[in-house]
Chains A and B, each alone.
Chain A
Amino acid sequence: MTAAPVPGPAAGEPALYQPIALVDLLDRVLATGVVVTGDITISIADVDLIRISLRALLSSVGTLEGGGQ
């Protein structure tokens, strides 16, 4: 993960070039958008797989294992 996990706080003017957290981006480019049937598309089921593998990846890297609970 190269991006800062959490973009800045809700204050002040819109910071146009704030680094975008990957997780926020994936919320949008994977789960939303105009759904048209292309010749090749990835289904929602695939999206779930992606998220699971993302979690596995991130936790195996160990960078984001929080101490809470």
Chain B
Amino acid sequence: MTSTADHAPPGQTTGAEGIWLYGFVADVSADALAGVAGVGGHRPWTIPVAGLAAVVGHVPLAEYGQEPLRRHLEDLDWLERTARAHHAVIDVLHRAGPVLPATLATLYFDETGIVRLLTERRGDLTAALDRVTGHVEWGVKGYAAHHPAAASPAVEPDAATPAAGPGAAYLARRRAQLAARTEARHSVEEDAAAIHTGLAGLSADARRHPAQDRRLTGTDAEMVLNGAYLVAADREEEFGHLVAALERRHPTVRLERTGPWPPYSFVGDTPALRGTTPPYPAADSAP
């Protein structure tokens, strides 16, 4: 808890430790990080370079090296623990000021690569930070609200003429049912798209994540929208009202809001950062 200053740990890492990257900030007080346990319980600290800082933590490579990491990521409990610890640090930073979250499991062998990144990509990092300053991310998930059974056609199909046998009648009925279901599906998807467009209109930026698997959402309803919206802090209330209004306007879609999140979904498109290469090949790192 006595995390001394920003640049706490004793200079170099030992060979057995790596550096876990949480994200980048313009400025962070040591106080902000004082109360938060990092990934694996290793206290986060910062590497400041000329007005920017990387927030990082030391982690043992025996657990977080390339191969152990790969194994552990397949372990749901480990993954959940790690994801929540990673998020907890980013969330604390987010409450204190703008932050660029790093993708889970970005590690370095020592400070060199991080210092280089902070130095060489200063402009890109600053621009990306500026974009999210004063904004939060809201998630809005939409589920198909209709029940397939209720969508069966009210009209009897034409083919059910006296001449048609029971088999033909069945087929015709079945065809009509499928057509109705397809139509209902289209309309739900159109509504989801309209909702997304409406929410995007109030947002600085917006994107749709892939729909989540039903087994992971824990609900029978099909997810038709998994949106993320970058909302200015002074428009959050308006955004909440809009979500409610759009749900009323489109009863085929049930909406669920999550957040506020740090701007995870809106910092990944910094093209200049994608090209950053480490000083040496990112080869096998297992100790």
B-contacting residues of A (Cβ < 8 Å)? 1-2, 5-7, 9-14, 16, 18, 20-42, 46, 49-51, 53-55, 57-59, 63-68
Contacts and interface: CB of A to CB of B under 8 A. Distances in A.
Interface residues of B, number: 74
Interface of B: 18, 21, 23-24, 64-66, 69-70, 73-74, 76, 79-80, 83-84, 86-87, 100-109, 113, 117, 121, 128, 139-141, 209, 212-221, 226, 228, 236, 240, 243-244, 247, 255-261, 264-268, 270, 273-274, 276-278, 280, 282, 285
Nearest to B286: A40
A10 B256 contact: yes
Contacts of A50: 73-74, 79
Given A29-B104, A32-B268, 7 more contacts: A9-B256, A25-B84, A26-B79, A37-B274, A40-B105, A54-B76, A68-B220
Contact of A39 (B70, B107, B141, B209): B107
A21 to B, nearest CB: 7
Nearest to A10: B257
18 contacts: A7-B258, A20-B84, A22-B80, A23-B217, A26-B79, A26-B83, A32-B268, A33-B264, A35-B273, A38-B108, A38-B282, A39-B113, A41-B106, A42-B105, A50-B73, A50-B79, A54-B76, A66-B219
